Every structure is written in structure tokens, then in C-alpha cells.
């Protein structure tokens, strides 16, 4: 039963209760069986293309490029996917896998609600039942997504423990899984948790960088100089980075949520302020106090409001292959408004963190250089919250 | 044979779990002494963690109250030093991997040895990950207690063969908390363990009544109770020690 796998450098692993061990072993075996299976992949590709609307566009942001006066900027439009975010890529993969495993029920955690909506969508499509755990604080911030999940037939359980945000939703989904394993698949939403989740989720999200690579080669005849994405757990970022990791000329930049700043306690920037730890099934970096108590993190973005980062990102940070930079609420909100006014695209507040950092570095780059920003989701869900941030009270 | 293992030589064991610092450390000290005086064979001291993913609502609440009261790992080490002046039964820590890891595992486990902690239970460290802490536990003579769950099946033999101290058998699926009924076929789990090891087996999760404890101990070597004790603490607060003592007495009597 030795497990040499599931490690990214020193990170990753399977730090979970014994009750769940056979479930993750069964999941790994099923994934190993199906990941190269032509029928499975044909079905998944068909779902991606016909149902989710892939491939997503790589859009040349001409006005933004001109305005910033530096690198040529492309936007990878994951916001145009069915359900409005990259989350559907992973969910369709996992739901199909769960179905092959004979599972009839999906459970999931959600922060902003995008992963919950995607899971509820896949469950509806595949005739499975669905329960989504969501921090009570987030059910308030993202009321529209709660309604969407219910409309799709899912049960939404508000989580009141701890900080009542994403980490507590993950804890509660893990607790639920230990009580009901035989018919239930835990559809984890990011590249985190115990092995094999970080690998499975990465593989399903890697479609993003596979497409970017093809699309940018077609448009520019060369690889990009920089790829940027926002990072909470890190699924859209690892999906955007994966097929460029072996190309050292491509700078990979993950944008963390700094909240009110990395010098305050109201931050969720794990690489900037966290340290090595073991939590939620994995060894990685976590925001925590000196005794290892997990910190109550904060970000305006419910989707990045998580005190850890996926183990593969922790490893890419250790070896210096990817850079991780903090972006504050204020910078993200400005970028949210900027992209709306400049390109007519309202990005998710999560994705706006990547746009904000791009706005800082693009002007310093040459006009012959190429930048790709992954717009991981669309911002409709955030409009009420951003209006509130700007002092305007609107009712949805 | 470790001190923990020896404890099981004198009949069925009653193991009491107490979250340190709920509602404060003075109460914890009084409750431990009361449990020991009333027949507890082993005390599991919970070091609270902000996000205890294996716990049900009752012990989650205890963790939260303790942390809000300002308890820390260092203060709990001091508590054990004080308790060891007169409490001689084995005591183990129950906590989560990050509490040990972030303290620096070697410093944590060395301190366990120094203050008289006999073992360590880490519910989020399964067989596959025990190398993280096992070499240090061996170096300092602290038993790393393994757990077996109703879903362990083909894993039981390997876990049992390498188990130390005692084997913690999780009675039911799910998290900690009292249950009206325990339906897992624990006798057959224990019989698989017996084929591979002489390790004592204690059953925990869901036990609250003397009848349940007797039933669990009939098929194993002891019963572990946590949430039911925490509920007494919830009810009586700083005056809980005599009530916990009475409860421990009734449970231990059921096992004799």
C-alpha cells in the first residue's frame, strides 16, 4: 500500500481519515482505467464540445493592448463556457467518471457558487442527485448562484461552522463523504485535497492550455511570453499553465487574492503570507497561525477566499517555475471595471485579479511580446457585490 | 510492550476523550483527575484544531470554545506536566496533523516524551502517510495509534500488523458523535485484526450508554467515549468534573 504517487515535490499526499482511504483508492483505480480509454475520452470530448461549447475562444484584446501600450494581449475566454466558468471542464470529467464507477450522487463544495452550479448542471444532465455545501456567508454574497443550483435540482446546504466560507464548505463536504461513500462521489472543485484529486482536476482543466497553445500558434506562430491566471485552490491556473510547464520561455504567473493587502490579516494570499502545513488532505502552503490553526482568510472574491493552494502550485513555486503575486480587492475591482469598459467583457471578480496584474506588467513588455490572460469566468454573479463595494445598493 | 498496551492487560478498558481547554484548562485538569479517579484506564487529550474534519458538531463545538478561550499547544503541554504530578494512567494526544507539523514534528514528539504523553492519535494521517511522523515516534518512544474504519476491508491486515499501543476501531461511517445504533459488524473486523496482531482493539465513535459500551467491549478490548463526555461539559461547564466522574464510573462498571 505504499504510495509513491500523488506528490509534487514534497507537496500533496493523502492526509485523510482512514474511512475515506478505500474511496480515494477506488477513485484512482477508476481514473487510471478510464483516462486513456478511447470511449471515455470520446464521450468527454463530445460533452466538452457539444454541451459546454468548447473550444473556448482565444480573443485578441485590441483595445486593451493599445491602451496599455505594451504586450499583445489575448484573453482565454473560459467565461464563455456553459455555466459561465472553467469549472464545467472538471465537473463534466468527474461526473462522467463517477457515472462509470456506478455512483448515483454527487456532492461538492463551492465558494463563489460557480463550481456548485457546474456540479448541479452535470448532475441534472446525467441524472444524478446532487448536494452542494456552501458557506453561509457565501450564500449571502452569491444568492443568485444559490438559486441557480436549486433550479438545477440540487440541494444547497449552508455551512455555518468556522468562517462560513469555502474552507468550511470543503470540511463539511469531506465530513459528508465519510458518512456516505458507496453511492456518492465527492466532486472536488479545485486542484487540491488528497491524491488523486489534484491530478484528476488538473488533467480535466489542462484542456485550457492545450487549446491556448494551438490557438496562439495559429494566430501568432509562436508560444506566448506570459500566461496569467488567478489562483485560489488553483484549478484554472494549473489548467492554463500545464501544457507550458516544459517551455521555460513562457512565464507563468498566478495571481492570488490579497484582500485588503498582504500586510493585513484580511488576506487570502497563501504564497505571500502562508507557510508549509498539512490540511484538507494535502501538504502545501496554508495561511495559519504559529500553532497551525488555519487562518480566517478574506477576499472580496468568494472563489479565491481559501487559506491554501493546490500542491502542484506549491511545487511550481518551490522550483521557481511559476510566479505567484498578490492582487488586492481594490486592484481587482478596478480591473473588473476596466475590462468591462475597455473590451465590453465583464469578468468574474476572481479573473479580474489576473487582469489587474496584467495591467501592471503589460506596459513594461515589448509590443512584439504576447500575453495570455485566462478569464476563468464571467462576472454577472459579482455585479451586486461590486456595486456594494462602490457604495451603490442594487437589488437583484 | 508499551504502557498503553499494558493497560489492556487488566480487563476491558474505558477510554475517555476530553478536549483540552473546553471551557478552560483548569476544568480540563479537574475533569481528567475525576475521570482517572473513577476508573478511566486511558485519557485521550484533544488538542483543539480550527478545522477538525473528522469531528461531528459536538466535538467541533468543543474545539471552537477551547480556541476562543485562548488555549495553545504550549499551554496544553504545561497542563500535562501538572497532571503528571499525580495522574499515572496512560495519556495520549488526539489532534490533527497540522498541529504537530506546524510545531515542528520533532519538537512536538520530543515534548510528548518529556511530559509523559504515551501516544498520538492523528485521524488525518492514514497508513500511507504515517512515515511523516512514525520515525520520530519510534525515536522518542511515543506510540502512533492507527485507526481502522468500517470501510477498511482489505487494509485491516496491513494496518493491524504494524499497529502500536492500541488499535482504534471506528464503529461507524461518518464523523464523531453519539449514535442510537451501531450496525457495523465489529466482531468480524476484530477477528481479522486478531489473525494478524496481538494489538488491543478499542472501539470508538457513537458510544454513549453503558449498554453500548458493554456491547462494544464484548467484541473488543475496550470502549472510547468522546462526544458524550463533551456534552456533560457543555451542560455543566466549570462544574463538570464530578458529573464526568459519575459518568465514567457508570461506564467502567458496565465493562467490569
| Global ipTM | 0.96
Question: Between chains, do A171 and B51 touch, taking CB under 8 Å as contact?
Answer: yes
pLDDT of residue A143: 87
Instruction: State what percent of residues in chain A have pLDDT above 70.
Output: 98
Which chain A residue is nearest to residue B121, measuring alpha carbons? A17
pLDDT tens per residue across span B182-211: 888 999 999 999 999 999 999 999 999 999
Q: Which CATH class is domain B13-140+175-186+203-255?
A: alpha beta
Predicted confidence (pLDDT) per residue in B72-86, tens digit: 999 999 999 999 999
Which residues on chain B are in Cβ contact (under 8 Å) with A276? 101
User: Looking at residue A396, what is its pLDDT?
Assistant: 57
Confidence of residue A2 (pLDDT cuts 50, 70, 90): very low
Q: Catalytic residue, from A171, A299, A351, A376: name it.
A: A376
What average pLDDT is seen over chain A? Answer: 96
Look up A376 and say whether it is catalytic.
yes
Region B206-220: mean pLDDT is 95
Residue A219: its pLDDT value, please?
98
Q: What does the pLDDT look like over A249-306, one tens digit per residue? A: 999 999 999 999 999 999 999 999 999 999 999 999 999 999 999 999 999 998 899 9
Report chain B's mean pLDDT, rounded to a whole number.
96
> What does the pLDDT read at residue A137?
86
Chain segment A205-239, per-residue pLDDT in tens? 999 999 999 999 999 999 999 999 999 999 999 99
A315-358 tens-digit pLDDT? 999 999 999 999 999 999 999 999 999 999 999 999 999 999 99
What is the percent of chain B where pLDDT is above 90? 94
Q: Is the pLDDT of residue B47 over 90?
A: yes
Q: Evaluate if residue B244 carries a pLDDT over 90.
A: yes
How confident is residue A4, by pLDDT bands cut at 50, 70 and 90? low
Q: Which chain B residues are closer than 8 Å to A278 by Cβ?
A: 96-98, 101, 124, 132
| pTM (two decimals) | 0.96
Selecting from A2, A17, A168 the residue whose C-beta is nearest the C-beta of B124 gives A17
Asked if the C-beta of B204 comes within 8 angstroms of chain A's C-beta atoms, the answer is no
Quick one: pLDDT at residue A162?
82
**pLDDT level of residue A3 (50, 70, 90 thresholds):** very low
Give the domains, in start order, of chain A with CATH numbers: 11-48+87-201 (3.40.50.1100), 55-84+206-389 (3.40.50.1100)
Which of A16, A181, A277 has the CB atom closest to B101's CB atom?
A: A277
Q: Select the residue of B60, B101, B173 nearest A179 (Cβ to Cβ).
A: B173
| Percentage of chain B lying above the pLDDT 70 cut | 100
Q: What's the confidence (pLDDT) of residue A1?
A: 38
- Please give the pLDDT value at position A302: 86
Q: Looking at chain B, which residue has its C-alpha nearest residue A1?
A: B128
For chain A, the three-class secondary structure string (H helix, E strand, C coil) is: CCCCCCEECCEEEEECCHHHHHHHHHHHHHHHHHCCCHHHHHHHHHHHHHHCCCCCCEEECHHHHHHHCCCEEEEEEHHHCHHHECHHHHHHHHHHHHHHCCCCEEEEEECCCHHHHHHHHHHHHHCCEEEEEEEHHHHHHCHHHHHHHHHCCCEEEEECCCCCCHHHHHHHHHHHHHHCCCCEEECCCCCCCCCCHHHHHHHHHCHHHHHHHHHHHHHHCCCCCEEEEEECCCHHHHHHHHHHCCCCCCEEEEEEEEECCCCCCCCCCHHHHCEEEEECEEEEEECECCCCCECCCCCCCCCCCCCECCHHHHHHHHCCCEEEEEEEHHHHHHHHHHHHHHHCCCECHHHHHHHHHHHHHHHHCCCCCEEEEEECEECHHHHHHHHHHCCCCCCC
Is residue B134's pLDDT more than 90?
yes
Amino acid at each position: 500500500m505504499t504510495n509513491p504517487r500523488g506528490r509534487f515535490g514534497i507537496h500533496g499526499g493523502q492526509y485523510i481519515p482512514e474511512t475515506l482511504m478505500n474511496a480515494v483508492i477506488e477513485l484512482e483505480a477508476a481514473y487510471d482505467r478510464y483516462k486513456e480509454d478511447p470511449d471515455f475520452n470520446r464521450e468527454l470530448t463530445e460533452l466538452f464540445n457539444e454541451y459546454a461549447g468548447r473550444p473556448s475562444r482565444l480573443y485578441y484584446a485590441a483595445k486593451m493592448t493599445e491602451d496599455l501600450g505594451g504586450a499583445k494581449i489575448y484573453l482565454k475566454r473560459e467565461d464563455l463556457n456553459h455555466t459561465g466558468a472553467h469549472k464545467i471542464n472538471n465537473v463534466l470529467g468527474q461526473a462522467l467518471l463517477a457515472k462509470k464507477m456506478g455512483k448515483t450522487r454527487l456532492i461538492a463544495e463551492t465558494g463563489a457558487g460557480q463550481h456548485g452550479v457546474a456540479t448541479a448542471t452535470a448532475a441534472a444532465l446525467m441524472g444524478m442527485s446532487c448536494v452542494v455545501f456552501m458557506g453561509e456567508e457565501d450564500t449571502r454574497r452569491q444568492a443568485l448562484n444559490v438559486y441557480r443550483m436549486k433550479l438545477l435540482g440540487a440541494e444547497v446546504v449552508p455551512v455555518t461552522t468556522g468562517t462560513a466560507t469555502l474552507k468550511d464548505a470543503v470540511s463539511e463536504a469531506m465530513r459528508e463523504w465519510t458518512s456516505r461513500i458507496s453511492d456518492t462521489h465527492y466532486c472536488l472543485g479545485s486542484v487540491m485535497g488528497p491524491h488523486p484529486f489534484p491530478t484528476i482536476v488538473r488533467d480535466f482543466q489542462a484542456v485550457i492550455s492545450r487549446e491556448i497553445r494551438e490557438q496562439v500558434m495559429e494566430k501568432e506562430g509562436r508560444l506566448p511570453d506570459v500566461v496569467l491566471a488567478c489562483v485560489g485552490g488553483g484549478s484554472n491556473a494549473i489548467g492554463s499553465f500545464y501544457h507550458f510547464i516544459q517551455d521555460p520561455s513562457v512565464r507563468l504567473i498566478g495571481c492570488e487574492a490579497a484582500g485588503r493587502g498582504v500586510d493585513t490579516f484580511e488576506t487570502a494570499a497563501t504564497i505571500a503570507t502562508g507557510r508549509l502545513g498539512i490540511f484538507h488532505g494535502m501538504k502545501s502552503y496554508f495561511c495559519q497561525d504559529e500553532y497551525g490553526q488555519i487562518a480566517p482568510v478574506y477576499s472580496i472574491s468568494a472563489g479565491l477566499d481559501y487559506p491554501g493552494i493546490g500542491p502542484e502550485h506549491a511545487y511550481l513555486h518551490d522550483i521557481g517555475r511559476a510566479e505567484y503575486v498578490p492582487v488586492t480587492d481594490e486592484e481587482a475591482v478596478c480591473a473588473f471595471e476596466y475590462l468591462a469598459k475597455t473590451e465590453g467583457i465583464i469578468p468574474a471578480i476572481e479573473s479580474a485579479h489576473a487582469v489587474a496584474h496584467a495591467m501592471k506588467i503589460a506596459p513594461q513588455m515589448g509590443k512584439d511580446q504576447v500575453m495570455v490572460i485566462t478569464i476563468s469566468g464571467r462576472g454577472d454573479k459579482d455585479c451586486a457585490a461590486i456595486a456594494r463595494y462602490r457604495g451603490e445598493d442594487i437589488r437583484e | 510492550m508499551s504502557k498503553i498496551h499494558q493497560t489492556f492487560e487488566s480487563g476491558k478498558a474505558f477510554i475517555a476523550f476530553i478536549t483540552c481547554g473546553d471551557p478552560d484548562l483548569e476544568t480540563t485538569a479537574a475533569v481528567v483527575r475525576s475521570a482517572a479517579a473513577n476508573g478511566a484506564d486511558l485519557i485521550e487529550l484533544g488538542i483543539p484544531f480550527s478545522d477538525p474534519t473528522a469531528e461531528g458538531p459536538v466535538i467541533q463545538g468543543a474545539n471552537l470554545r477551547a480556541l476562543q478561550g485562548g488555549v495553545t499547544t504550549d499551554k496544553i503541554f504545561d497542563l500535562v506536566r501538572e497532571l503528571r504530578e499525580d495522574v499515572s494512567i496512560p495519556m495520549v494526544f488526539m489532534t490533527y496533523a497540522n498541529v504537530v507539523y506546524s510545531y515542528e514534528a520533532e519538537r512536538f514528539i520530543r515534548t510528548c516524551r518529556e511530559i509523559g504523553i504515551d501516544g498520538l492519535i492523528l485521524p488525518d494521517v492514514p497508513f500511507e502517510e504515517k512515515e511523516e511522523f512514525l520515525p520520530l515516534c519510534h525515536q522518542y518512544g511515543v506510540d502512533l495509534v492507527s485507526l481502522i474504519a468500517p470501510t477498511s476491508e482489505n487494509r485491516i491486515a496491513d494496518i493491524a500488523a504494524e499497529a502500536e499501543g492500541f488499535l482504534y476501531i471506528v464503529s461507524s461511517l461518518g464523523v464523531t458523535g453519539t449514535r442510537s445504533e451501531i450496525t457495523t459488524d465489529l466482531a468480524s473486523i476484530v477477528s481479522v485484526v486478531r489473525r494478524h496482531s496481538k494489538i488491543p482493539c478499542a472501539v470508538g465513535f457513537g458510544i454513549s450508554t453503558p449498554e453500548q459500551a458493554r456491547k462494544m467491549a464484548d467484541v473488543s478490548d475496550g470502549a472510547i467515549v468522546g462526544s458524550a463526555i463533551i456534552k456533560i461539559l457543555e451542560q455543566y461547564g466549570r462544574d463538570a468534573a464530578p458529573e464526568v466522574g459519575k459518568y465514567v464510573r457508570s461506564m467502567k462498571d458496565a465493562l467490569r
